[in-house]
Chains A and B, each alone.
Chain A
Amino acid sequence: MKFAKVALGLIAALALQTTLGGLAIRGTAALDLVLIVVVYVALTSGPVVGLLAGSAAGLVQDALSSGVLGMGGLAKTIVGFAVGVLGTQFIVTAPFPRFVVFVLATVLHAAIFMGLYVLLGLREFSEPYAAVLGQAVANGLVGVVAAQLVELLPGSLQRRRSGRPLKR
């Protein structure tokens, strides 16, 4: 069940990413919805699920993009594991800590991703700090909101469902 939820979340994120891709917030880099899902899954499910989710999502993302297969997968694997470990060591349920985690995860992901490309001499990234920071903040905001929605939406729906007969 958990695996299905994770898979469903990733597929949804990929679908959104591919359809709503290129979302830019005032000139900053696009949102990485897949990364947001990976971070959230890792936070809630631990390092093993986090690294597996990151690995799978990253590979699929790489396969769907024109990049080198494995770059995103490796970056998201490490991020998923790191965030999963963080989630097991600290209580990260409040919005702000989650925001911080999303920001840090994005920065880490960007560092690994860009670092690998630079290391292999495949791409050059000139002054990426602002773009990375913008993406991190955006991911953090979207991630916190999304996480709140995911966690609060089922409960409110259930309450709404259970409240209708009473109103009737």
Chain B
Amino acid sequence: MNRRIAAVLFLISFSSFDVFAAENLKSHIKAEVVSDRSSVQPGERFYAGIHFKMDPDWHIYWRNAGDSGIPTVIDWKLPEGVRAGPLLWPFPKKIQMEEITSYGYDDEIILLNEMTISENFSSHQLTLEADVTWLGCEKICVPGKSSPSLTLPVSSSASEPSENNEKIQNTLTSLPEPFLEPLKGKVSGSNVTLELPEEWGTKKEILFYPYEDNWLDHGAPQKISKVETGWVLKTKKSSIAPAFSDSTIKPGIIAINEGEKVYEVEIDFIQSKNEDASLLGHLTFKPSGTLLLAIGALGFFFFCNKIRGK
């Protein structure tokens, strides 16, 4: 037999079970460095980030990946004199796959950092390089890794906006704004209640996305409802949630009407153990059903007795 054909057949015979070797490691996610400036000036601040482009149906993950997935990581390798601020995460999409709820981005997204270049930066060029790792998933998941870079001229004259400036400005306006007051939260059994400011009560949709992955039931519905004290968002705790202490603070973001407004918030939980608050929490939920049943049962017994009486 022709040697080449034999080699091909040999490969084919292995390919279906060859899982240790790279199966289909074609990258479905592209990552490149973008900046809002086409040149930079020592002493100024500017934005740089990673522009991710996903193939259709593919996604990467937010800082809290949710039930499955791994957060995207950007590790800048910057020359001396250049510092990166915290990574700025736009609010994510909920990705629902059967029973599993994750948080991430599809299509395209820019994850930015604010950069500061020192006054004494003396080189004529600045190379912005980052080690980027992500988990890309469609129906299947493929981990990705790359080290993209961008080199910008450094000049003493005022810097110019780059071709990506508009996209970056749009990304900046979609970032969560800090919400100054912590919101009050309550946990009672598996029920989680977040108190909302009065003016949010009329909003169509309010979604809370926690930064930590282990305490909220990511798949549970989040419902706005009116109670005596005002408007609340009702949802569920995860069955793996660690115990809440007297004043557990949980950070996250709140997105109103699909990102019409996004706030970074802290939820201040007062874990009510056997107090009235927890009783009330129960009353609004379970016993109301039991009460109905009791009334129904009573009625049924009266009905039975009446028949027996005849």
Are A and B co-members of a single complex? no
